[in-house]
Amino acid sequence: MRSRKVYSLEKSKISESVCDLLEKLSAAAIKKSGHFMVAFSGGSLPEIVAQGLVNPEKKRDIDFTKWWIFFSDERCVPHSSPDSNYNLVKTSILDKLYQLNKDTKNYIPKEQVIKINSKLVHDAELAADDYNSQLVKAFASRETVRYPVFDCILLGVGPDGHTCSLFPHMPQLNVTDIWVTYINNSPKPPSSRITLTLPVVNDAHNVVFVATGASKDTIMDSILNKNDKTLPSTNVNPIRGELFWFLDKDAAKLVNPNIISQL
């Protein structure tokens, strides 16, 4: 891992700070390769990013036409379901971005939002294979390596240390021969999901965790202080990339102050 930065911020500062970083990473990626390949998790993350990204009071200097949106994990539900991470990102970010920038057309083209195949949500294994093929197609023009290299993967962390849909003591954490795998007994409902595998996450140029709330203080102690490798989030260490943790004060309460970076 090139570097790890752990930030502990007032909750009100989290969205803006994460999006300041996204603005920087986006500009660098677009300059280097012509696009910004970013994967979103579900949970609280999309709303947190939305507050800083599609804010009429603070327009971002971002060329959204060059963004490609992927999902770090996705539930095997219809796109219209309230449980769909695509639906969450669409309603919290994509639709608002369209409304904010429809005059300038500075929004993400629909064909650059790579979502689960809604015809396959009845079969998580087929859906995972299909998403894997979609990744191959999307990254074909860029990649000569074994894995797709995302410019940024945005992750949340569960109170049990899961991230994406990689859960403690479940076999998906050890899958290394494919880019996307599936689970049908997720401890966090809904039970059927597809997820990026750990090697893909660790091949990203940048991985950004966002964790807020007192419910995350104990797990943050296990991940950052105790380095508990049974927890999927502890195993996220980008091989050539940068790792960022954005914590609010509640989630960072038990974290050793010596590992906290200053923004």
Ligand X SMILES: O=C(O)[C@H](O)[C@@H](O)[C@H](O)[C@H](O)COP(=O)(O)O
Let me know: does 84 contact 38? Beta carbons within 8 Å: no
Eight-state DSSP code of residue 94: I
Cβ proximity to ligand X, 163 vs 192, nearer residue: 163
For the stretch 156-159, contacts whose Cβ atoms lie closer than 8 Å and that sit 24 or more positions apart, written own/partner, are: 156/41, 156/42, 156/43, 156/44, 156/45, 156/209, 156/210, 156/211, 157/209, 157/211, 157/216, 157/219, 157/220, 157/223, 157/233, 158/43, 158/188, 158/219, 159/215, 159/216, 159/218, 159/219
Residue number, 43 or 148, with CB nearest to ligand X: 43
Does residue 227 contact residue 234 with C-beta atoms inside 8 Å?
yes
Cα–Cα distance for residue pair 42/110, rounded to 1 Å: 19
With tokens 């790579």, the residue in question is 114
Query: Which residue's CB is nearer to ligand X, number 66 or number 193?
Result: 193
Q: What is the distance between the alpha carbons of residues 153 and 155, in angstroms, rounded to a whole number?
A: 6
Query: Measured from the CB atom, is 40 or 68 closer to ligand X?
Result: 40
Closest separation between CB of residue 30 and ligand X, Å? 26
Smallest distance from ligand X to CB 162, Å: 6
* Min dist. Cβ of residue 144 to ligand X (A): 29
Q: How far is the CB of 73 from ligand X (least distance, A)?
A: 5
> Could you list the residues that contact ligand X (CB under 6 A)?
41-45, 72-73, 85, 156-158, 162-164, 188
Supply the minimum distance, in Å, between the C-beta of residue 232 and ligand X. 9
Smallest gap, in angstroms, from Cβ of residue 33 to ligand X? 26
In the complex with ligand X, the residue whose CB is nearer, 52 or 101, is 52
- Residue of 204, 200, 194, 254 lying closest to 224 (CA atoms): 254
Nearer residue to ligand X within complex by CB, 25 or 155: 155
